Structure 1
Amino acid sequence: MNIIGIIASQRKEGNTAFIVNKILEGAKEQSAETSIFGFADLDIKPCRGCWGCHKSDRGCVIKDDMQKIYDALEHADAIVLGLPIYMGQMSAQGKIFTDRLFARFSPRFSPFFKENAVKQKLILSFNQGNPDADLFKTYIDYTKQMFEMLEFDVKEVPVVTGLRNGPAHEREDLRTSLKDFGSALVVYP
């Protein structure tokens, strides 16, 4: 199984990076092949809304590092998307990634439009400073539904809370539970 991790944060060694890496670590322990993309190391522009991906067979017309992710998505069985919550919703980097999926999920390129296409598995991992896991539940549920409409098979939506009180890497309770999500991703039907 081939799994890609996407860290939708500018912080190379922040909470989101720790969470995505731990989930991937659990998947590796089940013999999955993994790779990771972090926005801190990528130059990805926002979608222009130009519809160029619908007007030709070239895909997205913006030539930036999102092309690397598009290529990886073509070969991925599963995705771990790490999304920090800023101002009640996913980070700007998460929104840019999501908007740029438009080129991949347009009728010309989407697996959704291929007969008997296999849905890619997805773990949507959110993290927030606030300790109340239900505080942004409406937004998290909406985001899950949006990815399901894009024909992803959303397996888990872990929400790591209370990060105002200390970084994720200092929380022993997270190490095992995050790795368990990655392990389960490999063995899910």
Structure 2
Amino acid sequence: MNIIGIIASQRKEGNTAFIVNKLLEGAKDQGAKTQSFHFSDLNINPCRGCMACHKGAEGCVIKDDMQKIYEEMEHADAIVLGLPIYMGQMSAQGKIFTDRLFARFSPKFSPFFKEVVTKQKLVLSFNQGNPDASLFKPYMDYTNHMFEILEFDVREVPVVTDLRSGAIDEREDLCMSLKNFGSALVLEEAHKSVS
């Protein structure tokens, strides 16, 4: 199984990176091939809304580091998207990534939509400083639904909260649950292929 992680934060060694890397670590322990992309290392521009990606065979005409991610997504069985909550919604980096998916994944309401035979797994991992896990739930539910419209098989990780109260790497129960989720993703796929 091939899994890529997208860390939609400018903080290369922040909480979002830690969470995504723990999920990937659990998957790697079960034999998955993993790779992560940090927004802090990438030059990814916003979508121009030019529609050129759907008017010809070239795909997205913006030649930046998103091309690397498109290439890896072609071979990925699952994507882990780490989204910090800023001002009640995903980070600006997360929104840029999401908008740029239009070149590859047309929503059902688009005239360019083609039926997807096999849905790609998408693990949405939200994190926030506030301790109340339900505080931004309507937005998270909306985001899950948006990715389902894009024809992803969305797997939601329980939101990681209270990230202003001490170092994340000292929360042993959280580290274990993240690794277990990553492991389960691979084991589930292995079970399906045997069945």
* TM-score (structure 1 length as normaliser): 0.94
C-alpha contact 2:106 2:150 (8 A) present in aligned 1: no
What corresponds to 1:30 in structure 2?
A: 30
C-alpha contact 1:7 1:20 (8 A) present in aligned 2: yes
- Provide the rounded CA distance (Å) in 2 between the counterparts of 1:145 and 1:71: 25
**Residues paired across the two proteins, number:** 184
- Provide the rounded CA distance (Å) in 1 between the counterparts of 2:11 and 2:170: 17
C-alpha contact 1:3 1:78 (8 A) present in aligned 2: yes
2:36 is aligned with what amino acid? I
1:166 is aligned with what amino acid? G
- The superposition leaves residues 66-101 of structure 1 with CA deviations (integer Å, 9 ceiling, x where unpaired) of 000000000000010000000000000000000000
What corresponds to 2:83 in structure 1?
A: 83
Alignment of 1:39-188 (within 5 A): 39-106=39-106, 113=114, 117-188=117-188
2:47 is aligned with what amino acid? C
Unaligned runs of 5+ in 1: none
**RMSD (Å) for aligned C-alpha atoms:** 1.3
C-alpha contact 2:4 2:76 (8 A) present in aligned 1: yes
Unaligned runs of 5+ in 2: 108-112
- Provide the rounded CA distance (Å) in 2 between the counterparts of 1:157 and 1:144: 11
Of all paired residues, the percent bearing the same amino acid is 77
C-alpha contact 1:155 1:185 (8 A) present in aligned 2: no
Decide which moves more: 70-79 or 165-174.
Answer: 165-174
Q: Evaluate the alpha carbon distance shift between residue 58 and residue 106 of structure 1 in structure 2; reply closer, same or farther with a 3 A threshold.
A: farther
- Which 4+ runs in 1 deviate beyond 6 A? none
C-alpha contact 1:156 1:181 (8 A) present in aligned 2: no
Decide which moves more: 68-77 or 160-169.
Answer: 160-169
C-alpha contact 2:131 2:162 (8 A) present in aligned 1: yes
- The superposition leaves residues 143-172 of structure 1 with CA deviations (integer Å, 9 ceiling, x where unpaired) of 001111111111223200000112322211
SS at match of 2:57: coil
Q: Offset of 1:179 from its aligned partner?
A: 0.3
